[in-house]
Amino acid sequence: MARNTNMAFFAAMAAAALLMSSAAAATTYQVGDGLGWVVPPGGAAAYATWAANKTFVVGDTLVFTFTSGSHDVAEVTKAAFDACNVTSPITLETASPTNITLSSSGEHYYICTFAGHCSAGQKLSINVNGASSPAPAPSTTPPPPPSPPASVPAPAPSTTSPPPSPSPPTSVPAPAPSTSTPTPAASPAPTPSSTRAPVNWTVGNNSGWNVLPLGSYQTWAANKTFLVGDTLVFNYLNGTHDVAVVTKANYDSCNTSNTLALFRNPPTRITLNTTGENFFICTFTGHCAGGQKLAINVTAGSTTATPPSSTATPPSSSATPPGSSATPPSGTPTTPTTPSSPTPEGAAAPPNAAASLGAAGLSATFLSIALALLF
């Protein structure tokens, strides 16, 4: 009896493990990834490329994200998919996001029933495989105990003698200081800052100019600086969208009856020639209200830096010219001094001739006074 109870318990555990593994294997796919469910700029190839590298199995979920009122999701037959026939869909979902769980294997086809959207490429076909094979149930047999680790012998001590200690480095005498006055280096001229070149901005990046969730284009423009001379590039499918330049009032109300300019041929390139706010919408019915609108602020272009002055600074006028401090000669003539001959090296210098004559004159004066006193 106890054995039957244990077997029933293990069978229940195995069934629970199978259910959990199959549930964990299910994958949720965001259709189009960041593009979402829109009229793709690349045509039908966009969704075909998205699905090409994916393996869909029963139990997976497709998530279609779009702007409600501007798109929908219809599952159709292959014939209706190929002809873009929207009259008799198998299922039709109008609320975003739409989650569709793949409950059967085989081919599945999805389109948007809004006028012109399917023929412009808003369609998806996938092939669903059967459920993946369940993972094997965990074994109930306890694993054998691990064998004890083998002992590792300690390494034998090294018998090699230690290397000799390195000799101290030879001291190098410091060079004698230079007595010459260094020549001051010339100061480089300041480099003018470079002006930013005009930029081509692809509106919406890879999503292009489409009906995206409200606020998508404002998020795209939020971290960008638009300058006069830049160019906006609007990528879209011809006949499914257009680009209209409008006033702020018409932008806010999505009024498409009075546009400043209207462009219908993709890619539309608009060069920003003036500063201030610029407003763009799509005039197709429901597209502006669905989020296909862009507002940007354009600022003036960068100014070119002023080049450095080429005029050299004149020298100071306060400097005294050489020789200007010499004292002019006085009116009394001065007896020129006879230059003395150079003394040979090692010889004694001769007595000064002027000093000898002065001493002789003084002796003669005293002798004359002495004789006058005697007589």
Q: Is 75 helix (H, G, I), strand (E, B) or coil?
A: strand
Rounded to an integer, the average pLDDT of 249-253 is 95
- State CA 317 to chain mean position distance: 54
Percentage with pLDDT > 70 across the chain = 56
Considering 171-185, 277-291, 354-368, the range whose residues carry the highest mean pLDDT is 277-291
Pairing of strands 243-246, 276-281: antiparallel
Q: In angstroms, rounded to a whole number, what is the distance separating the alpha carbons of residues 338 and 344?
A: 18
Rounded to an integer, the average pLDDT of 228-235 is 95
Rounded to an integer, the average pLDDT of 261-284 is 95
Rounded to an integer, the average pLDDT of 151-180 is 55
Tell me the pLDDT band of 357, cut-offs 50, 70 and 90. Answer: very low
Tell me the pLDDT band of 145, cut-offs 50, 70 and 90. Answer: low
pLDDT (tens digit, 9 = 90+) per residue, 37-84?
Answer: 999 986 778 898 899 889 999 999 999 999 999 999 999 999 999 999
Q: In angstroms, rounded to a whole number, what is the distance separating the alpha carbons of residues 18 and 12?
A: 10
Tell me the pLDDT band of 372, cut-offs 50, 70 and 90. Answer: low
Do residues 97 and 118 touch, judged by C-beta distance below 8 A? no
Q: Which of the two residues, 362 and 327, has the higher pLDDT score?
A: 362
Rounded to an integer, the average pLDDT of 122-133 is 85
* Confidence at residue 300, expressed as pLDDT on a 0 to 100 scale: 87
Q: In angstroms, rounded to a whole number, what is the distance separating the alpha carbons of residues 5 and 11?
A: 10
Question: Residue 205 pLDDT > 80, yes or no?
Answer: yes
- pTM here? 0.43
Q: Is 52 helix (H, G, I), strand (E, B) or coil?
A: helix
Question: Residue 1 pLDDT > 80, yes or no?
Answer: no
Q: Which of the two residues, 86 and 357, has the higher pLDDT score?
A: 86
Which residue in 201, 44, 200 sits closest to 111, CA to CA? 44
pLDDT (tens digit, 9 = 90+) per residue, 282-317?
Answer: 999 999 998 999 999 999 875 444 444 444 445 444
Tell me the pLDDT band of 118, cut-offs 50, 70 and 90. Answer: very high
Under the phi-then-psi rule, with left for phi > 0, alpha for psi from -120 to 50, and beta for the rest, what region is 321?
Answer: beta
* Confidence at residue 184, expressed as pLDDT on a 0 to 100 scale: 52
* Confidence at residue 334, expressed as pLDDT on a 0 to 100 scale: 45
Could you tell me which residues are beta bridge partners of residue 297?
A: 277
Pairing of strands 61-64, 56-57: unpaired
Q: In angstroms, rounded to a whole number, what is the distance separating the alpha carbons of residues 67 and 63?
A: 13
* Confidence at residue 182, expressed as pLDDT on a 0 to 100 scale: 53
Q: In angstroms, rounded to a whole number, what is the distance separating the alpha carbons of residues 45 and 66?
A: 19
